[in-house]
Structure 1
């Protein structure tokens, strides 16, 4: 018997500054709030976000969470990628919002264009052109 995975259910992100990250993911990236819960026993916020109605992201705040260095080429989870129709247009939207974005690259295997940028905690994010 083999494990049958249906799809990715969610991606969980722990942030250092909940208000700043909430604004980034909802106002800059335009993700939709599905639910927002404060868990007093953990002194933690949990924000459920949807990307175009799919693939929920859970944004957490935990007091005193340790810092984890992260770059696109570091060991571990490499990055979270969002599909876009036009990477240059999407890149410009981020630049206009004051977000630092790398230059457009081309995937050697697929010929598709992509760019990397970071969330407020330096987590690597990617825009990948479909």
Structure 2
């Protein structure tokens, strides 16, 4: 068996329009397809991330809250690679998104920082 790559990451949001705006207008991901599923009262928004990645953004009525701190078992965060971390941080700040201080990964020597989506999902930008 050989797994080629991660195909997509699925995210469930509490406010579809707010999250759609965040992922398309703030982070700049382009829409592949948007589907409203009447039987579930749910949207599914497929977003393109870079050359090959995708995010599936879902809305469901009254989804349970995500456990966060102290860190719960499970997916810890979602990280995006960027060319220039300072430029990306400035761009996020200009769009009203707060970030943590830029840190240095002592293992790889690369710089990174964290920020949150509208549902407080931890997101990371990691310099190439």
TM-score, normalised to structure 2's length? 0.95
Runs of 4+ with >2 A deviation: 69-75
Q: 1:73 & 1:91 partners in 2: Cα distance?
A: 24
Q: 1:105 & 1:93 partners in 2: Cα distance?
A: 18
Query: How far does residue 73 in structure 1 lie from its aligned partner after superposition?
Result: 4.8
Q: Which residue of 1 aligns with 2:77?
A: 79
Q: 1:84 & 1:53 partners in 2: Cα distance?
A: 13
Alignment of 1:1-130 (within 5 A): 3-70=1-68, 73-130=71-128
- The 3-state SS of whatever aligns with 1:20 is helix
Query: How far does residue 20 in structure 1 lie from its aligned partner after superposition?
Result: 0.1
Query: How far does residue 67 in structure 1 lie from its aligned partner after superposition?
Result: 0.5
Aligned length: 128
Q: Where in structure 2 are there 5+ consecutive unaligned residues?
A: none
- The 3-state SS of whatever aligns with 1:50 is strand
Query: How far does residue 105 in structure 1 lie from its aligned partner after superposition?
Result: 0.3
Query: How far does residue 28 in structure 1 lie from its aligned partner after superposition?
Result: 0.2
- The 3-state SS of whatever aligns with 2:123 is strand
Once the two structures are superposed, residues 70-107 of structure 1 have per-residue CA deviations (whole angstroms, 9 ceiling, x without a partner) of 36954311111100001111011111111110000000
Q: Where in structure 1 are there 5+ consecutive unaligned residues?
A: none
Q: 2:78 & 2:70 partners in 1: Cα distance?
A: 9
